[in-house]
Amino acid sequence: MEWDKIKYIVLIFATLIGAFILSTILRKLLNLFIHRNAKHWHTDPTNFSFLKNSVSFIVYTIAVVYIFLNVPYLEKLSSAIFAGAGITAMIIGFASQKALSNIISGIFILMFKPFRVNDTIELNSETKGRVEEVTLRHTVIKDYENRRIIIPNGVISEATITNSSITDEKIRKFLDIGISYDSNIDKAMAIIREEAENHPFLIDIRTDEEIKAEIPKVVTRLISLGDFSVNIRGYIWAMGNDNAFVMKCDLLKSVKERFDKEGIEIPFPYHTLVYKKDLENEKIPEN
């Protein structure tokens, strides 16, 4: 009898260890397969990533079922579990609502693809970064500070998603710069256009008809007359969100330097301070 108990304990531990080893090997093999073949087959890696992260769940589920079927001492426990299946299911259902919601949301992400692995997305105009992984429960986003943000799939399914990579990776940025009312508007527009057209990240999105019509690569417009400045906007295009951000930062610097050389003033607001005691000392003119 004691030998049988030892034998079944060894079986349980061996099964769990085997499940762990098998799960690890399968995940590594699938990960290697994804990196080698996703681009070659022009296939969305999100599909394989989701499958990779489902392996552990499937393997451990099979291991547990195998243990219950092959260890007689667990028969009473399994009978009790099945006898109280209704109550157990109710308890588990309430306890795992969010977990099931995340799993179902993960399946919907896989099916409808609002984003894919390596897409740059922004959630509710707050969290922004590149999608690294989509699992059964959550999605991992790498932000621009190199941190990993782990968001439950149920939360993502209810969020407003801005995807900078889906369908078309071209990004248009607005280069808004204000100049003083005394500055030459045409000259300022020409400087913005020249600096933008010389940037290596700028892409030309003009059609053949627009090129024939000699429409410039970078369109500049006067968008408003502010309280302190004349506001000019340059429309600049780049391939991908990261390139667009870098290009805008570079142009803000180079345009400012050109404005300084060319005598174009970038104004700052002036404030006039009036002290109350000065008002009290003012004499009211007699009629």
- CATH of residue 128: 2.30.30.60
CB 99 within 8 A of CB 152: no
Claim to verify: residue 188 and residue 218 sit in the same structural domain: yes
Question: What does pTM read for this prediction?
Answer: 0.62
Q: Among the three residues 59, 80, 95, which one is the final residue of a domain in this structure?
A: 95
The count of structural domains within the chain is 3
Claim to verify: residue 189 and residue 125 sit in the same structural domain: no
Compute the mean pLDDT over every residue in the chain, rounded to the nearest whole number: 81
Cα three-residue angle 109-115-116, rounded to 5 degrees: 95
For residues 24 and 125, what is the distance between their CA atoms, to the nearest angstrom?
37
Place of tokens 């990240």: 201
Could you tell me the pLDDT band of residue 253, with boundaries at 50, 70 and 90? very high
For the segment 104-119, the average pLDDT, to the nearest whole number, is 82
Q: Is residue 110 part of a domain?
A: no
Its domain, for residue 54, covers 2-95
Q: 267-275: list long-range contacts, CB under 8 Å, 24+ apart.
A: 267/178, 267/179, 267/180, 267/181, 267/228, 267/229, 268/228, 269/227, 269/228, 270/228
Q: Is residue 209 part of a domain?
A: yes
> Does the pLDDT at position 70 exceed 90?
no
For the segment 153-177, the average pLDDT, to the nearest whole number, is 88
Claim to verify: residue 194 and residue 217 sit in the same structural domain: yes
CB 236 within 8 A of CB 198: no
* AA letter at 105: S
Claim to verify: residue 76 and residue 127 sit in the same structural domain: no
Give the per-residue pLDDT at 238. 94
> Does the pLDDT at position 178 exceed 60?
yes
Q: Is residue 102 part of a domain?
A: no
Between 208 and 6, name the one with better pLDDT.
208
Q: Is residue 272 part of a domain?
A: no
Give the per-residue pLDDT at 32. 75
Claim to verify: residue 31 and residue 88 sit in the same structural domain: yes
Give the per-residue pLDDT at 278. 56
Q: Is residue 285 part of a domain?
A: no
> Does the pLDDT at position 1 exceed 70?
no
Tell me: the pLDDT tens digits for 186-221?
999 999 999 999 999 999 998 889 889 889 999 999
Claim to verify: residue 195 and residue 145 sit in the same structural domain: no
Among the listed ranges 70-79, 151-160, 275-284, which one has the minimum average pLDDT value?
A: 275-284
> Does the pLDDT at position 255 exceed 90?
yes
Could you tell me the pLDDT band of residue 4, with boundaries at 50, 70 and 90? low
Q: Is residue 198 part of a domain?
A: yes
Q: Is residue 113 part of a domain?
A: no
3-state secondary structure the chain: CHHHHHHHHHHHHHHHHHHHHHHHHHHHHHHHHHHHHCCCCCCCHHHHHHHHHHHHHHHHHHHHHHHHHHCHHHHHHHHHHHHCHHHHHHHHHHHCHHHHHHHHHHHHHHHHCCCCCCCEEEECCCEEEEEEEECCCEEEEEECCCCEEEEEHHHHHCCCEEECCCCCCEEEEEEEEEECCCCCHHHHHHHHHHHHHCCCCECCCCCHHHHHCCCCCCEEEEEEECCCCEEEEEEEEEECHHHHHHHHHHHHHHHHHHHHHHCCCCCCCCCCCCCHHHHHHCCCCCC
In the chain, the percentage of residues whose pLDDT exceeds 70 is 76
For the segment 72-76, the average pLDDT, to the nearest whole number, is 64
> Does the pLDDT at position 92 exceed 60?
no
Claim to verify: residue 192 and residue 252 sit in the same structural domain: yes
Claim to verify: residue 133 and residue 214 sit in the same structural domain: no
Q: Is residue 279 part of a domain?
A: no
Give the per-residue pLDDT at 220. 95
Claim to verify: residue 89 and residue 125 sit in the same structural domain: no
Give the per-residue pLDDT at 53. 66
Claim to verify: residue 223 and residue 255 sit in the same structural domain: yes
Tell me: the pLDDT tens digits for 120-159?
899 888 888 999 888 878 899 999 889 999 999 888 888 8
Claim to verify: residue 149 and residue 176 sit in the same structural domain: no
Claim to verify: residue 84 and residue 146 sit in the same structural domain: no
- Domain of residue 225, CATH code: 3.30.70.100
For the segment 42-69, the average pLDDT, to the nearest whole number, is 71
